[in-house]
Amino acid sequence: MQCPAARGLERVGEWWSILILRDALHGLSRFDEFQESLGIAPNMLTRRLNSLVEAGLLSRHRYSERPPRYEYRLTDRGRDFRSVFLALLAWGNRHFTPDGKSVLIADKKTGAVVDPVLVDRATGRELSERDFEFVPGPAANQRTRKRLALAAQPPPMATEEGRPASQRRRKRRGTRHA
């Protein structure tokens, strides 16, 4: 798959996986901690933890020989998911909070609540739709280049009726409109 978003979702797209990573970002690391936090069936938790280890987002470390017990620690790749999770949290707070926000992000020193935005690392500018666009990278295949070229084309101009000019009917001369 060429799309980096699709490749990322392939690793974490299942919602249990995202919640396990959320809990790991909060400091949980043991099977029983994840199970208690999430209320997830043990077999499902085992599958999700194994897939996150295989994807390189968590690493497994034995902490007890008898019985064998493991803890799951975030890898660098897993810690990099933090910005994705913060963006998802902010988006959820902005659009899906019928009862109000249940989790906020606050400055550790001041306690001030913050609203995360995605910015360019080099310039510090917010990555707004108005100022930035998707462009093919050096490894983009022809399909990706074509999709991005289509997406970059401006939409057709709309008429007063709200239809693109190519779809509107010609007005008849001599017809009066009230």
Lowest-pLDDT range of 28-32, 81-85, 173-177: 173-177
Across the range 77-97, mean pLDDT stands at 95
Q: Which of 10-24, 36-50, 145-159 has the highest mean pLDDT?
A: 36-50
| Residue where a domain stops, chosen among 87, 114, 141 | 114
| Residue where a domain stops, chosen among 51, 76, 101 | 76
User: Is residue 159 in some structural domain?
Assistant: no
User: Is residue 26 in some structural domain?
Assistant: yes
Question: Is 12 within 8 Å of 55 (Cβ atoms)?
Answer: yes
Q: What is the pLDDT of residues 165-177, one digit of tens each?
A: 555 555 555 554 4
| Residue where a domain stops, chosen among 90, 114, 138 | 114
Same domain, 103 and 60: no
Q: Considering its fold, how many domains does the chain have in total?
A: 2
Rounded Cα distance, 139 and 171, in Å: 49
Sequence-ordered list of residues with C-beta below 8 angstroms from that of 31, at least 6 positions apart, any chain: 42, 45, 46, 49, 69, 70, 72
User: Is residue 129 in some structural domain?
Assistant: no
Same domain, 27 and 43: yes
pLDDT at residue 161 tops 80: no
Same domain, 64 and 86: no
Which token pair is 168?
A: 């509107």
Residue 63 sits in which domain range? 4-76
| CATH number, domain with residue 54 | 1.10.10.10
Alpha-carbon distances of 75 from 17, 21, 45, 84, 123, rounded to whole Å: 15, 11, 18, 15, 28
Whose CA is closest to 43, among 33, 58, 31? 31
